[in-house]
Structure 1
Amino acid sequence: MKNFAVIGVAGYIAERHLRAIKDTGNNLVASLDKNDSVGILDSYFPKSNFFVEFERFDRYIERLKRQENVQLDYVSVCTPNYLHDSHIRMALRRGADAICEKPLVLNPWNIDALEAIEAEGENSINAVLQLRLHSSVIALKNKIINQKKTSKYEIDLTYITSRGNWYGISWKGDESKSGGIITNIGIHFFDMLTWIFGKEQESHVYLREFNKASGYLELENARVRWFLSIDEGDLSNEIITTGKRTYRSIVVDGEELEFSDGFTDLHTKTYQEILRGRGFSLQEARASIETVYNIRNTKIINKGFKHPYLCK
């Protein structure tokens, strides 16, 4: 049984980490969040300690080690994106491995700094890149490898996930903290595409607004038209009438990749792989971080190979 701590335990994604810790038979010794709406702990680890102040949380972890000989093995980071870097460093300073939600960091040079710190000790940093563990995504990767196609694949990526007015008020609405929707909702898909189809070769941006963005990405083995949105108005009437508020689609050479299901246990699978020593490293997370950074900072142009939603 390994000892875990969770930073950012009141957040939406934290429950998946709590479930993964419990499902893999491990123990939560402590958690931290400035918000105290953490009743979810009762469903998983009611006897674990909870803190709203970092200083007391940090002191408790230190006391466990020095007075009770309890070693912290992992720190799971579920905090806002701009804090990931700092909280990963805290985990390493405490002699624990870090497990960090997407995006691992906001800028490529943050990875360079973390690599230097990781090399100084014995602990590792693990990125949560759960789409790589989705059965449909794995099947697509294997299919691409076996096909050995000489020409590039033509891909349309569409992801619309409706968000209410709260989104702009929260830290997610501040691009300096979240990286904007390109990073916050897009990075898993860009990671998946670069993992399957190779490194970025060319990138164009046609639209980049607070609630939607679109562009073109050329990879070693694919040409990708992408469209990301948190605007409910971009959903089709067909989707709206079903009561759904999210639409995700990846079409590869005219064939749609079906992955609407199979997301519920991906964090548990991620933890299982990490515990086996097969977590996703800093280097494996680098390509998607570089891609979204380039998209955020690329000059917008008007002409190009545009996504069908943008043409509408």
Structure 2
Amino acid sequence: MKNFALIGAAGYIAPRHMKAIKESGNDLVCALDKNDSVGILDSYFPMASFFTEFERFDRFVDKWHRDGNKRIEYMSITTPNYLHDSHIRFALKSGAHAICEKPLVLNPHNIDQLKIIEKETGNSVYNILQLRLHDSIIALKEKTAKELEANPNKIYNIDLTYLTSRGKWYFVSWKGNESKSGGIASNIGVHFFDMLSWIFGPIEENIVHLKQHDVNAGFIKLRNANVRWFLSINYDYIPREVQLIGKRTYRNITVDGEEFEFSDGFTDLHTKSYENILQGNGFSLDEARNSINIVSEIRNLTPVGLVGEYHPFCKKVLI
């Protein structure tokens, strides 16, 4: 049994980490969040010490390992995106490995600095990239690898469409602040960009067609794929037929015109991620780099409008 700490216990994604810690047979020693709506702890670790002030949490972590030669081996980080870098540094310097939600950091240079601290401390950083553990996505990667072995120059044509409706609260929260979330592409798209670059190779070209507070769209050329992408939190852009059946999320990926289906199979991916990490097979800083490069570039590019290979849903925005 390994001992864990959790930073960001009141967040949306935190319960998945609590469940993963529990199901992988480990213990949560302590948790931190400035908000105290953390009753979910009772479902997993009611005896975990909880703090709303970082200073008290820091003191507890520092003192705890001095009592009986105990140790917090892993620190899970589920805080707002812009805090990930700082909290990873704290974990490493506290003698723990860091397990961090995506996006790992907002900019590639943050990865370079974290690699230095890994070397200084001897501890490691692991990113939750759970789509890489999805059975359907693994099957797609294996199929693609075989095709590329036979034809290394093959270029796939891909459309990525992801709409996940968010209410007015989104723009009041840190998620609506680009300096804190990284913007739409970082906040809801980074795991798709990671998955695509994992399968089809690193980025070679990056173009943004639309960049608004509730929608980003563009084109990326990977080594073996041309990708038109559209990401939005605006319910109005969801296809009418999907709205009529009461759904507020629409996810679609087509590869050479064929729809790639991976709607199911998400239930236990965080637990699988933790099991892999505990077995020494987690996704490292370098493996997060491709997706961080992509979303960082998107944030800094000027949109060119509807020219070139733009996603068909872009016309919904400009009608």
TM-score (norm 2): 0.96
Which residue number in structure 1 is paired with residue 279 of structure 2?
A: 276
Which residue number in structure 2 is paired with residue 206 of structure 1?
A: 209
Letter in 1 for 2:73: D
Which residue number in structure 1 is paired with residue 241 of structure 2?
A: 238
* Pairing of 1:81-230 with structure 2 (within 5 A): 81-148=81-148, 149=151, 150-230=153-233
Letter in 1 for 2:209: Y
Which residue number in structure 2 is paired with residue 309 of structure 1?
A: 313
Which residue number in structure 2 is paired with residue 64 of structure 1?
A: 64
Residue 39 in 1 paired to residue 39 in 2? yes
Which residue number in structure 2 is paired with residue 75 of structure 1?
A: 75
- Which ranges of 4 or more aligned residues in structure 1 deviate by more than 6 Å? none
Give secondary structure in 2 for the equivalent of 1:71: coil
Q: Which structure 2 segments of 5+ residues have no match?
A: none
Which residue number in structure 2 is paired with residue 261 of structure 1?
A: 264
Shift of 1:68: 3.1
Aligned residue pair count: 312
Q: Structure 1, residues 243-288: CA drift from partner, whole Å, max 9, x if none? A: 1111111100011111111111110000000000000000000010
Letter in 2 for 1:291: I
Shift of 1:167: 0.1
Which residue number in structure 2 is paired with residue 248 of structure 1?
A: 251
The CA distance in 2 between the partners of 1:262 and 1:222, in whole Å, is 25
The CA distance in 2 between the partners of 1:47 and 1:243, in whole Å, is 40
Taking only aligned residues, the RMSD between alpha carbons, in angstroms, comes to: 0.8
Give secondary structure in 1 for the equivalent of 2:66: helix
The CA distance in 1 between the partners of 2:263 and 2:197, in whole Å, is 20
The CA distance in 2 between the partners of 1:92 and 1:162, in whole Å, is 36
Residue 288 in 1 paired to residue 296 in 2? no
Give secondary structure in 1 for the equivalent of 2:118: helix
The CA distance in 1 between the partners of 2:225 and 2:82, in whole Å, is 31
Shift of 1:242: 1.4
Q: Structure 1, residues 27-68: CA drift from partner, whole Å, max 9, x if none? A: 000000000000000000011110001111111111111123
- Greater shift, 65-74 or 16-25, is seen at 65-74
The CA distance in 1 between the partners of 2:84 and 2:114, in whole Å, is 11
The CA distance in 2 between the partners of 1:204 and 1:71, in whole Å, is 47
The CA distance in 1 between the partners of 2:200 and 2:67, in whole Å, is 51
The CA distance in 2 between the partners of 1:203 and 1:28, in whole Å, is 41
The CA distance in 1 between the partners of 2:315 and 2:78, in whole Å, is 37
The CA distance in 1 between the partners of 2:27 and 2:275, in whole Å, is 14
Letter in 2 for 1:180: G
The CA distance in 1 between the partners of 2:98 and 2:241, in whole Å, is 42
Letter in 1 for 2:46: P
TM-score (norm 1): 0.99
The CA distance in 2 between the partners of 1:237 and 1:227, in whole Å, is 17
The CA distance in 2 between the partners of 1:58 and 1:283, in whole Å, is 28
Identity among equivalent positions (%) equals 62
Give secondary structure in 2 for the equivalent of 1:307: coil
The CA distance in 1 between the partners of 2:259 and 2:207, in whole Å, is 23
The CA distance in 2 between the partners of 1:45 and 1:197, in whole Å, is 40
Give secondary structure in 2 for the equivalent of 1:61: helix
Which residue number in structure 2 is paired with residue 13 of structure 1?
A: 13
Letter in 1 for 2:205: E
Letter in 1 for 2:293: E
The CA distance in 1 between the partners of 2:258 and 2:140, in whole Å, is 11
Q: Which structure 1 segments of 5+ residues have no match?
A: none
